Amino acid sequence: MQTFDLEAEGLRALNASLHAQAADTNQTVWEIVNPKGSHAIAVGLDAPIEVNVKGSTGYYCAGMNKQATVHVHGSAGPGVAENMMSGMVVIDGDASQYAGATGHGGTLVIKGNASSRCGISMKGIDIIVHGNIGHMSAFMAQSGNLVVCGDAGDALGDSLYEARLFVRGSVKSLGADCIEKEMRPEHLEILADLLARGGCDAKPEEFRRYGSARKLYTFNIDNAY
Amino acid sequence: MCGIVGLFLKDPSLEPRLGDMLTDMLITMTDRGPDSAGIAIYGDQTAGAAKLTVQSDTPDSDFATLEDDLRRAVTGTVSMTVADTHAVLTIPNDYVAATRGYLKNTCPGVRVMSHGETLEIYKEVGLPRDVAARFDLRGMSGTHGIGHTRMATESAVTTMGAHPFNTGSDQCLVHNGSLSNHNSLRRKLRRNGVHIETENDTEVGAAYLTWRMQNGATLGEALESSLNDLDGFFTFVVGTKDGFGVVRDPIACKPAVMAETESYVAFGSEYRALVNLPGIEVARVWEPEPATVYFWSYDTPPTAKAA
């Protein structure tokens, strides 16, 4: 295992070391100590390595991740796993606003609560939140799955496209064009897999499914150019 | 951007370290606001006396005879402590208005930064590290304080545009964000006789709170109504004589992190600002909810009220 002291060696050295790892690297497990809320930790990784961050992080941790598994043993600041492409990001604590924003793929697991705008404009990422999520989550979400074991805040799924939203608890309000939808067997199957990947012991039957009513301007073919 | 820090001590043994801890937090927030910095600190109180913190761009001439001049103008004990461009005037409580009038009429270069019984406000243009050194913020003790690092967006980088803003006796405000209706609100407040000095948006926010409280609202009520009357982005932290409060606009784009232990309640724009506080590893750390007014006070239990 490689241990990296962020306070002593600095952010650029850390990310350069992580970027230097090839697909067949032997340095497969990294531990980052003294993160102290720093920004942009383990951003832009593209190798099948495991990175354990021993503490809380600031803005944009694990952004643009490909292949790597990033595990934050603490809470994460705004924009964690933003624009993730593949791989896995796990947050033991809470995540601040716009966690998993614009993510194209991979899995983001938040074991605490997520703040506002979780999964905003998500494009294929799967996000599993053990706790609650804040307002305007999954705003303009295009594809992928958002699973919330707790409650959702105001305006969930506003202007949604094709993403699936599963919420176990209450939803404070639904955003424009977001509606509750029937939970069919295929959805329970998808949800069971997501819950297993997220390490949740919740049962798929306890959740409700929300999605797009497809009534907004963009869904009307007469408005196409 | 802008950075905010705040510290409310529950453990009196930490009081001599308040300035030191706040200074570290403030310097960590330099990236968020490198153009000016300020701090409001709630310190000692002298029975029957009030404190006016004043500022001058030419302190050598303006402060040279100010203490003696005031002694002639005011009955009772007057003292002055100079720190760089600022000076704290301690005067009998009954002479606050008279002293302000005297300063206005005879010392045009002297501006009042704050007034109250325990509050002192220090703010200047420059890097937070340099501003802290000029006033020796590290050496200050107190029960609680709030600080601000500014990245100007709405008005010029000047001392008077720096935060905190004094909103009433022993009350102050710092702001991260930008108010979009500050011009119309400034006109409205000026029509109501409220004095607003600069083109700064936060000063309008501060004047709004002052005006609401002068018309009978409590600080909590004024903060609640600010959610309707102020348009734009804001995370506000307000200082009061016995505590501090936090409110974020309903969209809550501007960041805020709180931490609480048995020894203190701390506020930071980012978690980074809090990492060196004692016992932070075991603190309860959370993000204040949008459109919710929080208060911590020495006199009453903590409150969190959704507006």
Which positions in chain A touch B274 (Cβ < 8 Å)?
37
The alpha-carbon gap from B265 to the nearest alpha carbon of chain A, in Å, equals: 18
The alpha-carbon gap from A68 to the nearest alpha carbon of chain B, in Å, equals: 25
Q: How many CB atoms lie within 10 A of CB B29?
A: 25
**Does the pLDDT value for residue A170 go beyond 90?**
yes
* Distance of alpha carbon B190 from alpha carbon B172, whole angstroms: 20
Which positions in chain A touch B272 (Cβ < 8 Å)?
36-38, 58
Residues of chain B with pLDDT under 70: 307
Domain extent for A180: 2-216
Please report the pLDDT score of residue B73 as a whole number.
Answer: 86
Give the residue from B271, B282, B284 with the most A CB atoms within 10 Å of its CB, the best one to mutate. Answer: B271
The alpha-carbon gap from B132 to the nearest alpha carbon of chain A, in Å, equals: 23
Structural domain includes residue A221: no
Q: Grade residue A186 by pLDDT with cuts at 50, 70 and 90.
A: very high
Structural domain includes residue A88: yes
Structural domain includes residue A222: no
Residue among B252, B273, B285 whose CB faces A75 most closely: B285
Which positions in chain B touch A34 (Cβ < 8 Å)?
none
Q: Sketch out chain B's domains with CATH numbers.
A: 3-43+138-306 (3.60.20.10), 45-117 (3.30.70.100)
Average pLDDT, chain A: 97
Bridge partners for B81 per DSSP: B88
Angle CA B260–B263–B267, to nearest 5: 40
Q: CB within 8 A of B99, min separation 6: which ones?
A: B52, B70, B73, B74, B89, B91
Q: Where are the alpha helices (DSSP H) in B52-151?
A: 59-62, 66-73, 96-106, 128-135
* Distance of alpha carbon B303 from alpha carbon B307, whole angstroms: 12
* Distance of alpha carbon B173 from alpha carbon B151, whole angstroms: 16
Bridge partners for B160 per DSSP: none
Structural domain includes residue A206: yes
Is B114 within 8 Å of B40 (Cβ atoms)?
Answer: yes
Q: What's the average model confidence in pLDDT over A108-127? A: 98
Please report the pLDDT score of residue B76 as a whole number.
Answer: 86
The alpha-carbon gap from A194 to the nearest alpha carbon of chain B, in Å, equals: 27
Closest C-alpha among B199, B129, B186, B117 to residue B157: B199
> Residue A208 maps to which CATH number?
2.160.20.60
* Distance of alpha carbon A89 from alpha carbon A87, whole angstroms: 7
Residue among B250, B251, B255 whose CB faces A96 most closely: B255
Structural domain includes residue A66: yes
Contact A56 B286 (CB under 8 A): no
Q: Cis peptide before A204, with omega less than 30 degrees from 0?
A: no
Structural domain includes residue A225: no
Please report the pLDDT score of residue B56 as a whole number.
Answer: 97
Contact A58 B270 (CB under 8 A): yes
Q: How many CB atoms lie within 10 A of CB B163?
A: 29
State the residue for tokens 């002297």: B110
Interface of B with A in 243-272 (CB under 8 A): 250-253, 255, 257, 270-272
* Distance of alpha carbon B246 from alpha carbon B267, whole angstroms: 9
- The yes-or-no answer on residue B107 being catalytic is no
Interface of B with A in 216-235 (CB under 8 A): none
Is B118 within 8 Å of B42 (Cβ atoms)?
Answer: yes
What total number of domains does chain A contain?
1
Please report the pLDDT score of residue B6 as a whole number.
Answer: 97
Structural domain includes residue A223: no
| B90-139 residue pLDDT tens | 999 999 999 999 999 999 999 999 999 999 999 999 999 999 999 999 99
Please report the pLDDT score of residue B102 as a whole number.
Answer: 94
Q: Grade residue A113 by pLDDT with cuts at 50, 70 and 90.
A: very high
Residue A14 belongs to what H/E stretch?
helix A11-19
b/e sequence B165-194, b meaning 16+ C-beta within 10 Å: bbbbbbbbbbbbbbbeebeebbeebeeeee
Bridge partners for B239 per DSSP: B172, B244
Terminal alpha carbon distance of chain B: 25
In the numeric block, which tokens belong to residue B178?
């930008």
Q: B201-214 and B219-229 are packed helices; what angle lies between their axes, rounded to 10 degrees?
A: 130
Please report the pLDDT score of residue A70 as a whole number.
Answer: 98
b/e sequence B276-305, b meaning 16+ C-beta within 10 Å: ebeebeebebbbbbbbbbbbbbeeeeeeee
Structural domain includes residue A208: yes
Share of chain A above pLDDT 90, in %: 96
Which positions in chain A touch B285 (Cβ < 8 Å)?
56, 75, 93-94
